[in-house]
Structure 1
Amino acid sequence: MSPEKMQAMTEFIKSLVRPFIVVWDLVIYGVCIMRGIAVPDLLGLLIAAIVIEYFGERAFMRFKENGRGGV
């Protein structure tokens, strides 16, 4: 399989899986908040990582489109 095709498949799988992970995390986080129990550290870190990754990827794409850097 060519690297381009492999990259395209990887991006496709990421685009399918990511929304389910985000929704699942936010539902569990909401249940913890609504019940008044402490949010597990790992869950809080996972939500933070998703937010950072999402906005970091968008910023990287924006910089790349504007010609201000990138790899």
Structure 2
Amino acid sequence: MIVNTLSRIFLHSDNGQDVRLADPGADFSTVAVLNFYANTYPILTTAKITGPEIKEDEVQYRFETTMGTKG
């Protein structure tokens, strides 16, 4: 039996484009990763985390924010 560890990837949408954010460390929780990237992307301070979703041999988490949308 072969066991493969899937890498985590974090996505957030910026101007309609998905931005792929690398995992800063396996020991970081998803909330810690969100806080880590909020320094670079201030929009993430109001984001929520959705996922995980397994796609293309990756565990994908999405940072979603309602900031800047109407309705």
- Which of the five TM-score ranges fits, normalised by the shorter chain? under 0.3
Structure having the higher helix fraction is 1
Higher RCO, Cα 8 Å, sep 6+: 2
Normalised by the size of structure 1, how large is the TM-score?
0.22
Kindly name which structure, 1 or 2, has the bigger radius of gyration based on alpha carbons. Answer: 1
Greater strand fraction, Structure 1 or Structure 2: 2
